[in-house]
Chain A
Amino acid sequence: MLEVNGIANGIVLDHMKAGLGLVVFNKLVDGKIDHPVVLLMNVSSQAMGKKDIIKIENTFDVDLNILGLIDENITVNIIKDGKLFEKQEVVIPKKLKGYIKCKNPRCISHFDNYVEPEFTLYSKDSLEYLCSFCDEITKYE
């Protein structure tokens, strides 16, 4: 069986549905974090059958917004000195800045460098967000 050592300091993203690990990796980690990262896929889980796990050494900075958008069930474990220091809750963000682009081609957010697109959660079920500038509804995908 494959063995991966625990980390002394950093974060562990646990309870990701099998297959989601790569999505999280691509959105959160790839090219943005300059620390050792381990992506474990299809790990056996009593509760989930199979799950994915990501371990990132020496960083405590993780974007909970992105995680919330991908899967609310992800657990964020903060590890300090080899021990679990804190568990952080992941939620679907009520407000978003960036991450998505407004689907309305006439929205000012596509035309002015000063504008950072801003959205308010419109539907939690379908992950739809209302643009603060033009009121168009855009789905996070």
Chain B
Amino acid sequence: MMSELRHLIEPGDLTNEEMVELVDLGLEMYENPKKYAKVCEGKILASLFYEPSTRTKFSFDSAMLRLGGSLIGFADPNSTSDKKGESLADTIRVISYYADIAVMRHPKEGAPLLCAQYSEIPIINGGDGGHQHPTQTLTDLITIKKYKGTLENHVVAFQGDLKYGRTVHSLIKTLARFNTKKFILISPEELRLPSSLKRQLLDKYPHLVIEEVLHLEEVVDQIDVLYCTRIQKERFFNEEDYLKLKNSYILTLKSIENAKEDMIIMHPLPRVNEITYEVDDDKRAVYFDQSKLGVYVRMALITKLLGVDIDVRG
């Protein structure tokens, strides 16, 4: 698998089998990290972050360092030739000579695909605008697999900003491929899942069950996986709209009192106020472990895209 130059721009670039393989390898790396500590020695990851990021950038940096590789890159586009008006295509052509693999975050939707068209090294989309975030999806999948045992047949609810939430867009597209029993979409009218995405899902999977509600309490007892998201200030064109919606959903212990005992609460982080701190101690809250697991599934992804020999059992 993945011997030719491959990129991960959107979840559709990986088959279901490849996703499961990455998730399983990530779990193996999580259990036995030392075995993989040198498999990327001599390899360089370029991390190209044109937009602020804490988790994704550090998660990738940590993943490469834990594999024994090295890093170059930037976290501030003001320090790059982007400011001089250089095309992304030119930037990536040159970076292809300096690194073996690159991860990029960009505010414009489709920017990583543009780079992939001009790159000689694998490009990983670390999030493009409100469009896609496929490695967060792998992070979400490894978390669901670890806590629920399987990726299939769950009732999955998404709550919060479903309009601009790229993590939601990537995950819902992916879980639709894994026989999800039902999707429940909990959002204010203004932040509903984009109609074009919903239409594409239903056109492709006519039997998919999607329910849209305004309040978690109406449906909380049905849910196996509750995926909360932040109302993202940076995606709004005006602050007034953001202020009106920013406190739409605040998850408390009371709001999950009728939830299943084995429901899991996920969040791509960062959290602002959409989950109160009291929920952190509930055994159903897995969002911090989710963040930790993300490092290991990204390690798995890097080794696979680089075609690194990871048969280290010896």
Contacts and interface: CB of A to CB of B under 8 A. Distances in A.
Nearest to B110: A133
A114 B131 CA distance: 20
Interface string B56-100: 000000000000000000000000000000011110000000000
B109 A112 contact: no
Nearest to A103: B196
Contacts of B131: 106, 134-135
Interface string A119-140: 0000000000011111111000
Interface in A65-113: 104, 106-109, 111-113
Nearest to B169: A135
Contacts of B90: 114
A111 B114 CA distance: 11
Contact of A114 (B10, B114, B129): B114
Interface in B105-120: 106-111, 113-114, 118
Contacts of A113: 87
Contacts of B127: none
Contacts of B233: none
Interface of chain A, main secondary structure: loop
A118 B107 CA distance: 19
Contacts of B113: 108, 132-133
A115 interface: yes
Contacts of B130: 106
B96 to A, nearest CB: 15
A136 B118 CA distance: 22
Interface of B: 10, 87-90, 106-111, 113-114, 118, 128-132, 196-197, 199-200
Interface of A: 104, 106-109, 111-115, 130-137
